[in-house]
Amino acid sequence: MSRACAATIHSAEHMKAALPAKVILRTSGFMRKSLCVVWNTSEKHPYIPSVYSQGNGKDSPKMYFLHRPADAGLLRKGEWSMKEPPYNKLFVPTYKREGAPMVRGKGMYLYDKNGRKYLDFGSGIAVTALGHSHPAIVAALRAQGSKLIHASNLYHMEPQIRFVNLLVKHSFGSRVFLCNSGTEATEAAIKFARKWATRKNRLKYHVLSFTDGFHGRTYGGLSATAQKKFHAGYVPMVPGFHYAPYDDIAATKKVLRKHDYAAVFVEPVQGESGINSAAREFLTFLRAYTNKHAIALVFDEVQCGVGRTGLLWAHQHFGVTPDMMTLAKPIGGGLPLGAVVCKDTISRVIQPGDHGTTFGGNPLACALGEVVLRMVSKKSFLAGVRSKGAYLKGRLEKLAGVHDTIREVRGFGLMVGVEMDADPSKIIAACRAQGLLVVKAGHNTVRFMPPLVVTRADIDKAVRLFSKVLGRRAR
């Protein structure tokens, strides 16, 4: 039987008092910061605490481990040492990973190597739509994994056929290109649009996208991402990309008049920048303008699609249909899978050899994609997402009336952002220390994107933990 303990540590002496008896700490100068120690005293993991540094000033929160002498092999009996996790030495530091490795997931929860349990309201950044280890996902993995894992796109594969049939049935498209990720879907859509548009006018290759948008990390996707912070160190961007203010018709008209465009890329609901939604009038204007000037309208629904907003596709909220739609994240049930859904007007110009992918549309990922689409596309399931999303948003809006550090709560369905009055990094770290996983977004926003199978009881617990963190910071 495990017993969880926690204490907030403000000094080395305070830490020594809070830890088990006869424990001596050797510190290395960072004890000026406020630290939170959380440990588990189960028989399986006796006294292996994690230490969360709350930071000071511009310092970012960090997590440290307390290692027993048997593990460290450097200290005398009875002593403990504090150091950063060793795992980061293995990886190119593109992510700031902290804490014990995650080893298991079940339903709404993730579990780390030290036995700690986390209520997951990030869904692996909007990926695990059906939660962790959903029985239907596990069954599909086992069934397909025992048959065929890879054959290449030189051949037809049954899971691809079933998945794409479903995707076409439940969308505006007539053909689908399968890939591995959202950024690959963006790259494909750029190529398809340019080939389609330049058939009659070789200068009609320009691409318009919008401020605060996010379309991927590869060069085409990055060039379409109108955020300088992502461009830093990687300029120059791909030629022919231009930006206009999001949700601003007048400013967009001015940019559109300057070049011959092949495509306009837009997220109906922006995720990375803080859960910002376009107005119906803005998307309606884009549709009318692109129709008139033979420009491909591409909706990026990598994060906001597949039921996340309470309808199967986010653009359905606005009554506007694009020429292409990019998908990824939840569509593969946790495995890498991306897609470009196309109208015939676009797809008919593409010939064998124009584009390709070795792993795209992997049969294992497509088998999971079929499970996800069959479940999420049900009207009753989507109605539940809308209902639970409204409940989550309402609970968070009530918190805004209590905590003046909350500036705004916004979102659709189970894609909700809470904008804070300052950088929320420390809040997110403190939530993790309390057993709640949420994700940071732009404009000081905390993203709440739980699995779509979340219950109201789960929402109540998440909001209670979030409120607890905000209350402690206010004191």
Is pLDDT of 267 > 70? yes
Q: Shortest CA distance to 170 belongs to which of 363, 16, 325, 336?
A: 325
Distance CA 81, CA 72 (A): 8
Residue 96 inside a domain? The answer is no
410, β-bridge pairs: 417
Is pLDDT of 154 > 70? yes
- Residues 177, 307: one domain? yes
- Residues 166, 45: one domain? no
pLDDT for res 313 = 98
Q: Shortest CA distance to 274 belongs to which of 454, 420, 119?
A: 420
Query: What are 334's two structure tokens?
Result: 């946790």
Residue 62 inside a domain? The answer is yes
Residue 284 CB partners (closer than 8 Å, separation 6+): 318, 319, 320
**Range with lowest mean pLDDT among 12-16, 102-106, 171-175:** 12-16
Confidence band of 174 (pLDDT split at 50, 70, 90): very high
pLDDT (average), residues 79-88: 60
Do residues 276 and 217 touch, judged by C-beta distance below 8 A? no
The distance from CA 144 to its chain's CA centroid, rounded to whole angstroms, is 26
Query: What are 109's two structure tokens?
Result: 């929860």
pLDDT for res 287 = 98
Residue 349 inside a domain? The answer is yes
Query: Which CATH number belongs to the domain containing residue 411 in this structure?
Result: 3.90.1150.10
Q: CB-side exposure of 414: number of CA atoms within 13 Å?
A: 37
Is pLDDT of 109 > 80? yes
Average pLDDT over all residues of the chain: 87
pLDDT for res 418 = 98
- Of 334, 354, 377, the position where a domain reaches its end is 377
3-class DSSP state for residue 218?
A: coil
Structure-token match 């596309």, residue found: 377
Q: How many distinct structural domains can be found in the chain?
A: 3
pLDDT for res 83 = 54
pLDDT for res 393 = 98
Which listed residue (329, 343, 393, 426) is catalytic?
A: 329
pLDDT (average), residues 201-223: 97
Do residues 241 and 223 touch, judged by C-beta distance below 8 A? yes
pLDDT (average), residues 55-72: 44
What are the C-alpha distances in Å from 282 to residues 213, 300, 463, 465? 15, 15, 33, 37
Q: Give tens-digit pLDDT for 356-376.
A: 999 999 999 999 999 999 999
Residue 241 is among the residues annotated as catalytic for this protein: no
Please give the single-letter amino acid code of residue 59: D
Is pLDDT of 420 > 70? yes
Maximum separation of any 2 CA atoms in the chain, in Å: 80
**Range with lowest mean pLDDT among 69-78, 237-246, 373-382:** 69-78
Is pLDDT of 447 > 90? yes
Is pLDDT of 134 > 50? yes
- Residues 155, 205: one domain? yes
Do residues 184 and 219 touch, judged by C-beta distance below 8 A? no
- Residues 25, 157: one domain? no
Q: Give tens-digit pLDDT for 181-197.
A: 999 999 999 999 999 99
The helix or strand, by DSSP H or E, that contains position 466, with its residue range, turns out to be: helix 456-474
- Residues 313, 404: one domain? no
Which listed residue (212, 247, 300, 458) is catalytic?
A: 300
- Residues 431, 451: one domain? yes
- Residues 308, 258: one domain? yes
Is pLDDT of 68 > 50? no
pLDDT for res 85 = 62
Confidence band of 43 (pLDDT split at 50, 70, 90): very low
pLDDT for res 87 = 86
Residue 95 inside a domain? The answer is no
The distance from CA 203 to its chain's CA centroid, rounded to whole angstroms, is 36
User: Per-residue DSSP letters for 281-337?
Assistant: HHHHHHHHHHHHTT-EEEEE-TTTTTTTTSSSSGGGGTT---SEEEE-GGGGBTB--
Residue 214 is among the residues annotated as catalytic for this protein: yes
pLDDT (average), residues 169-173: 98
Distance CA 322, CA 451 (A): 27
Residue 229 is among the residues annotated as catalytic for this protein: no
Is pLDDT of 9 > 60? no
Is pLDDT of 440 > 80? yes
- Residues 81, 108: one domain? no
Residue 97 inside a domain? The answer is no
pLDDT for res 472 = 78
Residue 213 inside a domain? The answer is yes
Of 267 and 38, the structure prediction assigns the larger pLDDT to 267
Confidence band of 474 (pLDDT split at 50, 70, 90): low
Of 416 and 76, the structure prediction assigns the larger pLDDT to 416
pLDDT (average), residues 258-273: 97
Query: Which CATH number belongs to the domain containing residue 206 in this structure?
Result: 3.40.640.10
Structure-token match 């303990």, residue found: 5
- Of 90, 124, 156, the position where a domain reaches its end is 90
Is pLDDT of 111 > 70? yes
pLDDT for res 475 = 52
Q: Give tens-digit pLDDT for 271-321.
A: 999 999 999 999 999 999 999 999 999 999 999 999 999 999 999 999 999
Is pLDDT of 161 > 80? yes
Do residues 274 and 418 touch, judged by C-beta distance below 8 A? no
Which listed residue (163, 177, 214, 466) is catalytic?
A: 214
Range of the domain at 14: 4-90
Pairing mode, strands 50-53 and 35-40? antiparallel
Q: How far apart are the first and last CA of the chain?
A: 33
Is pLDDT of 342 > 80? yes
The helix or strand, by DSSP H or E, that contains position 24, with its residue range, turns out to be: strand 24-26
- Of 90, 116, 145, the position where a domain reaches its end is 90
pLDDT (average), residues 374-382: 98
User: DSSP state, 87?
Assistant: G
Structure-token match 């058939």, residue found: 199
- Residues 108, 173: one domain? no
pLDDT (average), residues 203-209: 98
- Residues 218, 281: one domain? yes
- Residues 224, 313: one domain? yes
- Residues 430, 364: one domain? no
pLDDT for res 49 = 45
pLDDT for res 88 = 87
Pairing mode, strands 324-327 and 338-342? antiparallel
Q: Strand 206-210: give its sheet, edge to edge.
A: 175-179, 338-342, 324-327, 296-300, 261-266, 206-210, 241-244
pLDDT (average), residues 141-165: 98
Distance CA 173, CA 291 (A): 17
